[in-house]
């Protein structure tokens, strides 16, 4: 049996030690803006790769990580901007996270599988920045298809997202990116229902009805600036 087959059977995914994240040290906001890769972080700013590396990256079996708050599964979470609005959808019953079914989301993304992990040249260390960037692109391809203009597939890093205090939030951390689309995608995965472009005001109205998933709710104050 190949290594690839073994890892798929185990469901190996990327995670980070929760105790090393800013929220464990008292950071109070759910969204943490990050400096852009290739730039110099300013006073009080965080860089994605050093933050995750210092926290402690780990590849482990998903069945274990789903209920172990000592670790946070790292999820690329891409917000697609469409003509001054954002792509929004309802999570269908065929989605992998049953605890979020029926909730409205603005994030496209998923787990980082073992096969998607990029290592740094000449040494077996996880390249967190490249791994998450290319996983974000892979998830976009799988969930909303490739755009006519391939140059649109350049996710821009925005920040880190966590909603502690819920069964889902305690075991996940999101790496938020944005992309800009000319129009809504012509096809989407069957896990995405009622796809449409929505304004921040429209999303706020859904939030008042209790229909937004926690991560989308946490991003509401930041979507206009995105």
What integer best gives the mean pLDDT of the chain? 88
**Is residue 6 predicted with pLDDT exceeding 50?**
no
Structure tokens at 210: 């209790």
What pLDDT, on a 0 to 100 scale, did the predictor assign at position 3? Answer: 39
**Is residue 182 predicted with pLDDT exceeding 80?**
yes
- Superfamily name and number for 8-223: Nucleoside Triphosphate Pyrophosphohydrolase (3.90.79.10)
Which DSSP string do the residues of 185-218 spell out, in sequence order? Answer: -S---TTEEEEEEE-HHHHHHHHHTT-B-HHHHH
Angle at 23 between CA 17 and CA 26, to 5 degrees: 130
Q: Which residues does residue 143 pair with via DSSP β-bridges, in sequence order?
A: none
Give pLDDT tens digits for 7-49: 445 699 999 999 999 999 889 899 999 998 877 766 567 899 9
What is the percent of the chain where pLDDT is above 70? 87
**For residue 135, what pLDDT band results from cuts at 50, 70 and 90?**
very high
What pLDDT, on a 0 to 100 scale, did the predictor assign at position 37? Answer: 84
Closest to 34 measured CA to CA, from 25, 23, 45:
45
Closest to 82 measured CA to CA, from 147, 3, 175, 5:
147
């Amino acid at each position: 049996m190949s290594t690839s087959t073994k890892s798929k059977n185990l469901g190996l995914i990327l995670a980070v030690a929760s105790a090393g994240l800013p929220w464990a040290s008292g950071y109070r906001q759910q969204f943490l803006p990050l400096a852009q890769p290739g730039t110099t972080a300013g006073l009080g700013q965080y860089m994605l790769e050093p933050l995750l590396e210092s926290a402690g990256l780990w590849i482990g079996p998903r069945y274990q990580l789903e209920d172990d708050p000592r670790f946070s599964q790292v999820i690329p979470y891409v917000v697609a901007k469409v003509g001054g609005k954002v792509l929004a959808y309802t999570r269908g019953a065929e989605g992998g996270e049953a605890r979020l079914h029926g909730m409205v989301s603005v994030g496209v993304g998923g787990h980082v599988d073992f096969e998607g992990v990029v290592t740094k040249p000449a040494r077996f260390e996880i390249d967190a920045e490249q791994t998450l960037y290319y996983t974000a692109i892979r998830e976009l391809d799988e969930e909303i298809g490739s755009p006519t203009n391939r140059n649109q597939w350049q996710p821009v890093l925005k920040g880190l997202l966590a909603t502690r205090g819920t069964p889902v939030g305690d075991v996940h951390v999101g790496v938020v990116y944005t992309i800009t689309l000319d129009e809504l995608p012509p096809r989407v995965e069957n896990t995405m229902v009622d796809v449409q472009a929505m304004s921040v005001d429209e999303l706020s109205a859904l939030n008042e009805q209790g229909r937004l998933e926690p991560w989308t709710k946490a991003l509401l104050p930041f979507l206009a600036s995105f």
